[in-house]
Structure 1
Amino acid sequence: MFLSHFKTMAAYNRWANGRLYDACAGLGDAERKRDRAAFFGSIHNTLNHILVGDRAWLGRIEGLADSGTPLDAVLFDVFDELRRARQAEDDRIDRVLATMSEDRLAGELAYSNLAGTPFRTPMRLVWTHMFNHETHHRGQVHGMLSQAGIAPPELDLIYYVRSL
């Protein structure tokens, strides 16, 4: 029941990321990296932050040691490399969900945040948070695209559902 929902969210997430990156590709590198007074400054930095967040949460779900990567890290300076890394992370989301069971989704995830503080969070809420986090920051990029004079793509879930 929940697993099917999260697989749908993963497919939507991939679709939305693809559309957003396609729109961002319409800007030159300087425009993508221009400070726009957003939380992470630029389109490029915000896209990097989304990737950092996904890597942290998926690592926790997979039981990996925390990398300690700061949330504002720029993992990829070159847009095409960042895009390929995003696509690879979307593949990773699919792989992790393919190994997930309903029983595991009904359980909790024990992890520590970057400060080392331990937490226990229901696994379903971890997945919900991860997808919500991406949506939140895609919305910021959406606004920055408008500021840059690029028509931002429709990214709402209902547009994905209608495209099926």
Structure 2
Amino acid sequence: MIEHYRDLSGYNAWANQRLFNAVQALSDAQKTMDVGGFFGSLNGTLNHILVGDLLWLERLEGEGEKPASLDAVLHERFDDLWRHRQNVDHRLGQYCSALTDDKLDSFLDYKTSAGIPCHDNIAKILTHIFNHQTHHRGQCHHMLGQLDIAPPPLDIIYYFRENPE
């Protein structure tokens, strides 16, 4: 299973790169336009994905940024958001590269943003992290179409084809 999470980490960074390349073509007004997404705009949604990852990495690593809310906008400027995204994708990759079977089988005690105590398996947490990103990238994919930008293919099979083992 370790290789599975390493694959998901690689896919995650690849898909984020493709998505950010597409969003970069938009004006600042289009990036922040409320197009009816759960977090309103592309900027709001991309910030939310980053917030979620930062919260999970702080729990998993025991250090790092801990945004105050799930809808926090950490970066208004797209370039700053992209740099931060790349840094976090690198951290996720490093975390997955250092995984062991014992670590995957272990459990993490933490509190949710609402203060609810939890005791969850690390492998399931990692599955959630990568699934969460895929879910919200799908929303961004739809928003790009609403803004008349052809969304890039983000299916994981394309990643595997571009990155054979």
Across the two proteins, how many residue pairs are aligned to each other? 163
Q: Tell me the equivalent position of 1:28.
A: 27
Distance in structure 1 (CA, Å) of the matches to 2:68 and 2:18? 27
Q: How does 1:1-164 map to 2 (within 5 A)?
A: 2-64=1-63, 67-164=66-163
Deviation at 1:3, TM superposition (A): 1.3
Q: Which amino acid aligns with 1:44?
A: N
Secondary structure in 1 matching 2:109: strand
Q: Which amino acid aligns with 1:6?
A: Y
Distance in structure 1 (CA, Å) of the matches to 2:133 and 2:78? 18
Deviations 1:38-90 (A, max 9, x none): 10000001000000000001111112388252000000110001001000001
Q: Which amino acid aligns with 2:40?
A: G
Distance in structure 2 (CA, Å) of the matches to 1:58 and 1:156? 25
Change over 3 Å in CA distance of 1:107–1:70 after alignment to 2: same
Q: Which amino acid aligns with 2:45?
A: T
Secondary structure in 1 matching 2:120: strand
Deviations 1:82-120 (A, max 9, x none): 001000001111122233221010111111001111101
Change over 3 Å in CA distance of 1:65–1:13 after alignment to 2: closer
Conservation of the 8 A alpha-carbon contact between 1:60 and 1:66: no
Distance in structure 1 (CA, Å) of the matches to 2:56 and 2:103? 15
Deviations 1:113-146 (A, max 9, x none): 0111110111110000000000000000000000
* TM-score of the pair, normalised by structure 1: 0.96
Distance in structure 2 (CA, Å) of the matches to 1:47 and 1:67? 16
Secondary structure in 1 matching 2:36: coil
Change over 3 Å in CA distance of 1:68–1:162 after alignment to 2: closer
Q: Which amino acid aligns with 1:16?
A: A
Conservation of the 8 A alpha-carbon contact between 2:54 and 2:65: no
Conservation of the 8 A alpha-carbon contact between 1:48 and 1:82: yes
Unaligned segments of structure 1, at least 5 residues: none
What is the percentage of aligned positions where both structures have the same residue?
A: 47
The 4+ residue runs of structure 1 with deviation greater than 6 A are: none
Q: Which amino acid aligns with 2:83?
A: R
Distance in structure 2 (CA, Å) of the matches to 1:157 and 1:42? 24
